[in-house]
Structure 1
Amino acid sequence: MREQATPASAILLVFCAGFLFSCLDSSAKYLVLSGMAAPFISWVRFAVHVVLVLLLFRSWANPGMFRVKSLPRQVLRGIFLFGSTIFNFAALKTLQLAETTSIYFFAPMVITALAGPLLGEWAGWRRWMAILAGFVGVLVITRPGVAAFQIGHLYAIASTISYCLYVIMTRHMGATETAESLIFYSALAPVVLMFPVVPFTASLPPDAFHWMILLLLGFFGGFGHWLLIKAYKQATTTALAPYPYLQMVWMIGFGYMIFGQLPDGWTLAGAGIIVASGLYIVHREHRLRLKDSAAPMAEDEELAKRL
């Protein structure tokens, strides 16, 4: 089967989504450094996200987004996404933007490893070698046992694991739940569950500028996810897989312009190892899909020769 070129519009959408996610992390870092609590920032981010989803999907004319096959699974999936966000915001208090993003890029390898026991999608030895290489990249960045290791690294790793469980559940539920309901309930669940503790974690912004940044978090996250949905409607996941790594460019730029921080050589080296490992896994899975799709065609050709 001949491969088609990835549409430029899809690449642009992924690039813009990465820009918005970088704005999200940069804004969150700015707020936590100003003294605001990560749980409250996370809750506001999802509250605004819920409002945006209701408007973008025209909920008043789209009752399908409220229908679910399994509400407990929707809630659990939302908890994993919220955990990923709150751990990430906590990590940003002590780590550079490039550090948290580099560790986050380890997610495809963790998902590949977890897909075996949780989904029955077992990886071969080549992909396991790529997973181990990616783990080495994480060790290069965090350097446990030396002075460079911080509690923020643990938060970043917890954020990545939580996000991977969220993705695993998304794969599992994608066949039975609508895309609209998956987007809506993943934001609604943490808003409802965390509401009772909001008064105890709330740290209101000191001025209008901080209020603006806080409210923009939901826009950055919600609209960024919407752009990704639009992109994946135009091209396959495999075709677009390399482009989210371009987010590192935004993160390094924002880290320098806003916080005066540049990643050190260890972070860049570890990020390079992780990105290379992730791209190999994407390449390997793409080759396997092509092989699987070609197998029935070969069988048909052999049968035709016998008839």
Structure 2
Amino acid sequence: MILVTAIFAGQDAVSRHLAQHYSVMTVVMLRYWVFALFVVMLAARRPGGLRAAARSRRPGLQIFRSVLLVAEICVTVVSFVVLGLIGTHAIFAVFPLLVAALAGPVLGEPVGWRRKAAIAVGLVGVLVILRPGFHVFSPQALIPLLAAFMFALYSLLTRMVARWDSAETSFFYTGVAGAVAITLVAPFWWTPIHGTADWAFMASLCVTSILGHFLLIKVYEVAEAGTVQPFAYFQLLFVTILAVTLFGERPDTWTVAGAALILAAGLYAVLREAQVAGALRRN
């Protein structure tokens, strides 16, 4: 899981570099084409092939969540350019808390007072970073908050659709439906990629996308989600290292303090959810 977070951090750094020179839609579309090819090849090798992978009891919901994810990726990459990697990930780290907050209205899951307290602490962390009411506040800081909300909703819809479809079917729709959606839109903002170096960056983005998702699948084959999820926070560490060394970003004290609150609250919420899930299984 730590290796996965390192790969995804590298992806974010490459995405920021490319999005500074080319259309975000172009970068995401090319990445999704390769990802969709990987998903199709993976589905074809499993029992039942593509027909079994595409068979869904809730195709409309599968398509919606897949489109939501590709839209969230576009919003996040835009945030990398306008706000930087550190600022984006510091705020985006609130998404597990948003998942906990939305679990009640979306899935009908009860949320205890402990997780409600963690949500409140995390939101305080967001306010510390945004500092509304002060002249230093930038509306651009709301972009990663929107991305976090979109990803939280995507996560909940993925959990919801798992009631009817297999993980293989959800993964298939994530790649294929997402690729179709971005292909219908991205040509209107197409910018050709020039130079061998940038094509090499684009190729590395595609390859690491496949590698990262492949390793993530392997992670969940050998360990429970609740066990490995806390290690996902290593991505902020790796992103910070890359942002400082490659892009010269320097987080201010308020961003560090707010991120610390968000990470502490998010980690507690994740561990608490895993504890509750474990207790339910034992009973």
**Bucket of the pairwise TM-score, normalised by the shorter protein:** over 0.9
Q: Which amino acid aligns with 1:214?
A: M
User: Which of these residues, 184, 191, 195, is aligned with residue 183 of structure 2?
Assistant: 195
1:242 Cα offset (Å) = 1.6
Q: 1 CA distance for matches of 2:138 and 2:209? A: 26
Q: Which has the larger radius of gyration?
A: 1
Query: 1:24 maps to which residue?
Result: 11
Q: 2 CA distance for matches of 1:70 and 1:291? A: 30
Q: 2 CA distance for matches of 1:84 and 1:15? A: 23
Query: 1:217 maps to which residue?
Result: 205
1:259 aligned to 2:247?
A: yes
Q: 2 CA distance for matches of 1:115 and 1:85? A: 22
- Segment drifting more, 159-168 vs 46-55: 46-55
Query: Per-residue CA shift, 1:94-152, capped at 9, x if unaligned?
Result: 21212211212111110011110111102111211110100111111222333433343
Q: Which amino acid aligns with 2:4?
A: A
1:42 aligned to 2:28?
A: yes
1:60 Cα offset (Å) = 8.1
- Structure 1: tracts of 5 or more residues without a match: 1-13, 297-307
Structure 1 length as normaliser, TM-score? 0.85
Q: 1 CA distance for matches of 2:80 and 2:139? A: 11
Q: 1 CA distance for matches of 2:231 and 2:153? A: 22
Contact 1:116 1:122 in 2 (8 A): yes
Q: 1 CA distance for matches of 2:135 and 2:190? A: 33
Equivalent residues in 2 for 1:217-296 (5 A)? 217-294=205-282, 296=283
Aligned pair in 2 of structure 1 residues 123, 38: CA closer, same or farther (>3 Å)?
A: same
Query: 1:179 maps to which residue?
Result: 167
1:89 aligned to 2:77?
A: yes
- Segment drifting more, 214-223 vs 157-166: 214-223
Query: 1:55 maps to which residue?
Result: 41
Q: 1 CA distance for matches of 2:213 and 2:113? A: 33
Contact 2:39 2:176 in 1 (8 A): no
Contact 1:43 1:190 in 2 (8 A): no
Contact 2:230 2:271 in 1 (8 A): no
Query: 2:146 maps to which residue?
Result: 158
Q: Over aligned residues, Cα RMSD in angstroms?
A: 1.9
Q: 2 CA distance for matches of 1:139 and 1:96? A: 18
Query: 1:134 maps to which residue?
Result: 122
1:219 Cα offset (Å) = 2.7
1:290 Cα offset (Å) = 4.2
1:277 Cα offset (Å) = 0.3
Aligned pair in 2 of structure 1 residues 196, 236: CA closer, same or farther (>3 Å)?
A: closer
Query: 2:104 maps to which residue?
Result: 116
Aligned pair in 2 of structure 1 residues 221, 144: CA closer, same or farther (>3 Å)?
A: farther
Query: Per-residue CA shift, 1:6-54, capped at 9, x if unaligned?
Result: xxxxxxxx111101111111111101222x1112222222111101222
- Structure 2: tracts of 5 or more residues without a match: none
Over the matched positions of the two proteins, sequence identity in percent amounts to 30
Structure 2 length as normaliser, TM-score? 0.92
